[in-house]
Amino acid sequence: MTINFIKQKNCYIPKTFLQKSLPKILKHLKMQNLHIPVIKKQISLVFVSSQKMKTLNFKYRKQNKTTDILSFQSNLGESFGDIVFDYSLVKKQADKNGHSIKQELLYLFIHGLLHLLGLDHEKSFKEEKRMYKIQDSIFNSF
């Protein structure tokens, strides 16, 4: 699987790091019985401004605020989906969480992949525990 990066200006995106992390993430997902269909050969990571993310969050979730990421599944052949990041918020969260931008992006990338696989921490407390347990396990393996 390859990653397609779409970014605004002035974003530091550790493309090589994220691309090299993907096989390890996919291996961990497989160990959790979460499989990405083999025909899905590409995922897009899109980096947008806070205003654009606020607009998307309102349009798709009826929440009039920005959020760190949104995940959109794809029905198109080889595409697994899009994960959209609010780059400014990612930078703030990295500082708050004591992470580098690289670590924060990895953590949120894993989170977005789990959403694309159908997990949703807002669905129930049980689903939230399951999702964050998987996410933390994968992230901590790095």
CATH 3.40.390.30 fits 2-140, yes or no: yes
Residue-wise pLDDT tens digits, 76-86: 888 999 999 99
**Integer CA distances (angstroms), 88 to 13, 69, 102, 140, in order:** 12, 11, 14, 24
Residue-wise pLDDT tens digits, 7-41: 877 788 889 999 999 999 999 999 888 888 777 78
The secondary structure of 23-63 as a DSSP string is: HHHHHHHHHTT----TT--EEEEEEE-HHHHHHHHHHHH--
Confidence of residue 130 (pLDDT cuts 50, 70, 90): very high
